[in-house]
Amino acid sequence: MPKRSSTATEDLALPWWSARAERAPLSRKQILEAAIDLIDRDGLEAFSLRKLAADLGVTTPALYTHVRNREELLVLVFDTVVSQMDLPDDDSTDWAEDLRVVARAWRETMTTHREMARLSAIGMPLGPSLLRRMDAVFGALLRAGLPPPEAFSLGTAFAVNFMGYALFIDANNPVRQLERAGASPEAAKEQWAQMLSALPAEAAPNVAALRTYFEVDTDEDSEVFDTSLDLLIEAARARIERSS
């Protein structure tokens, strides 16, 4: 019986013949993980499906099997990042600690993924991961004994506190803005300190009086955040005692 000959792609390395290895199917999980890495690395403004496809080693049309457009991908990216945040234990009976768990987890995750805090400001649709964390906040206050109207008001205040802190204090404060403009972290801190020192006390005497607090690097000092959280918990506790 004649011997079957091998194909050229099996035996011969020809300079004009491209022998490509088979590529594993692309999954949505791979796309989301790569998108998060790309946004962390290059920033939100520079993010595009074209760059993402290049990072994944595929063509841009290959992404459209999994997402309709950039906007839908960002919605999924945001929900994926939120899903990584800790939640209170299901059997927890400490409502105040439950609030701290949600708030601190949000801040820690948004500090790791700074662009996600900015993305939240654009107005992300309410996804399943964010819904679970909202439910945990309102549930803690309802279990604590607050009437529904006050649980809603205080729960909203908590969400505004930790979400706003991550956006305006951690991710978008003057030092971060200077860094995005090209300054090194150390140079940005120095420039911000110089700007505060140059602030005319007569123009803004109260801001000038608090200048040293404005100079605090929130990455290295969480005291301001923890204090704001404690103040809200104390307000909730006072309301609970009043309604009991």
Torsion angle (degrees, nearest 10) of CA 143, 147, 150, 154:
0
DSSP helix/strand/coil, 218: coil
Does pTM surpass 0.85?
Answer: no
32 neighbors 54 (Cβ within 8 angstroms): no
**Identical fold at 24-67 and 86-185+236-244?**
no
Give pLDDT tens digits along the chain (244 positions): 555 554 544 556 666 655 555 556 799 999 999 999 999 999 999 999 999 999 999 999 999 999 999 999 999 999 999 999 999 998 999 999 999 999 999 999 988 998 998 888 877 788 999 999 999 999 999 999 999 999 999 999 999 998 888 887 777 788 888 988 899 989 998 999 999 889 888 999 998 898 888 887 666 668 888 999 999 999 999 998 987 7
DSSP helix/strand/coil, 46: coil
Domain 86-185+236-244, CATH among 3.40.50.10540, 1.10.150.120, 2.60.120.200, 1.10.357.10: 1.10.357.10
Domain range summary for the chain, segments of one domain joined by + = 24-67, 86-185+236-244
233 neighbors 96 (Cβ within 8 angstroms): yes
Q: What is the reported pLDDT for 17?
A: 58
Could you give the CA distance from residue 25 to residue 12 in angstroms, rounded to a whole number? 27
Measure Cα distances from 188 to 111, 172, 176, 194, 195 in Å.
17, 13, 8, 10, 11
117 neighbors 171 (Cβ within 8 angstroms): yes
24-67 — its CATH code? 1.10.10.60
Backbone angles phi, psi at 94, to 5 degrees: -105, 95
